[in-house]
Amino acid sequence: MSNLKPHALIIGAGAIGSFYGAILKRAGCTVSAVVRSEYDAVKAHGFRFESPLGDISWKPDHLYKDGDRPDSTPDYVILATKVLPGSDRAGLVRPWVGEGTNIVLIQNGLDIERELADAFPDNPIISCLAFIAVSRVAPGEIKHNAYGRLVMGRYPSGLDDHCQALSDLFVEGGIDIKLTEEVVRERWLKCVWNTPFNPLSVLANGADTYTMLDTPGGEKLVREMMQEVIDAAKADGYALPPEIIDSNIDGTRKMPAYKNSMALDYLNDRPIELDAILGNVVAIARKHGVPVPRLETMLAALRMRA
């Protein structure tokens, strides 16, 4: 990396990817993007934002579509697609990765880094979890509602200069970063909420949080599913604090009823991140011989729908 501000390329520049692209642009980076269906809109107008951060709308320095090749190898390739069963994320990234390119994942779920780490063993893998409320309202138009914090760490563990440098850029661009030496633990922690609530909302035909908790047997089931996640995490080497179940339930009850992102994907006929959120948790539990009958029931029922 030179002393010049680095070059970041966003792959999957939807609401989340284009938001973090905007932050890096504010930090002075060269920021490019690979887009698919929204190429024409972004080419014409860039990414237009409504955000509490002010005017963070931006135009990519280079705009690419699938099949294009880079003008120069970026310092950061930021993958911000949804993690869908059957998608070839290594293939998506490969054309853009050079020697020393940092591969940055801003994606949901558990055990989603392995595919990239296996495909690019010599590149740094920076794994990020986004805590943000942002949504695409039209081609190239994004509404940033709140938050934006990233939890970031080296995959599979530790911290290094690559993480620190990227964190500095994001902070310079105006968002909060939590650096962690145990990003996998952070993913497990997020699974305690996501792995029960997200798939359950789909099985319940898009039910909101209160509907799920207040249905007879609902809160009990959610708590039992959270315990299954905790059991799997423990067998995987991550002992999570037991009070996390209470705090997740209490936190959910303190917020208004809402439909989570997987429920919204389902209700809008978009594919759901089934493996990233649920399937990988079940696979790890099975590998360790941990019984997760409730999670397995959800997983099989949801796979039967496809």
Q: In terms of CB distance, is 287 or 305 closer to its own copies? A: 305
Instruction: Kindly state the smallest distance separating residue 191's Cβ from its own copies, in Å.
Output: 17
Nearer to its own copies, 173 or 196 (CB): 196
User: What span, in angstroms and rounded, lies between the C-alpha atoms of 171 and 166?
Assistant: 9
220 in catalytic set: no
Nearest CA among 298, 280, 273, 277 for reference residue 236:
280
- 63-65 and 76-79 beta bridge pairing: unpaired
- What is the C-alpha to C-alpha distance for residues 244 and 265, in angstroms, rounded to an integer? 27
Share of the chain residues as helix, strand and coil, in percent rounded to the nearest 5: 45, 20, 35
Contact (Cβ atoms closer than 8 angstroms) between residue 102 and residue 128? no
User: CB of 236: closest distance to its own copies in angstroms?
Assistant: 20
Strands (E), 139-255: 141-154, 177-179
Provide the binding-site residues for its own copies, judged by CB under 8 A: 200, 203-205, 207, 211-212, 215-218, 220-221, 224-225, 293-294, 296-301, 303-306
The CA distance from 148 to 26, in Å, is 14
Closest C-alpha to 163, from 151, 175, 172: 151
Phi, psi of 237 (to 5 degrees): 100, 10
CB of 143 to its own copies, least distance (A): 29
Q: How far is the CB of 227 from its own copies (least distance, A)?
A: 11
Q: Which of 25, 43, 65, 190 is catalytic?
A: 190
Comparison of 139 and 218: residue with beta carbon closer to its own copies: 218
**Nearer Cβ to its own copies, position 34 or 229?**
229
Instruction: State the catalytic residues.
Output: 190
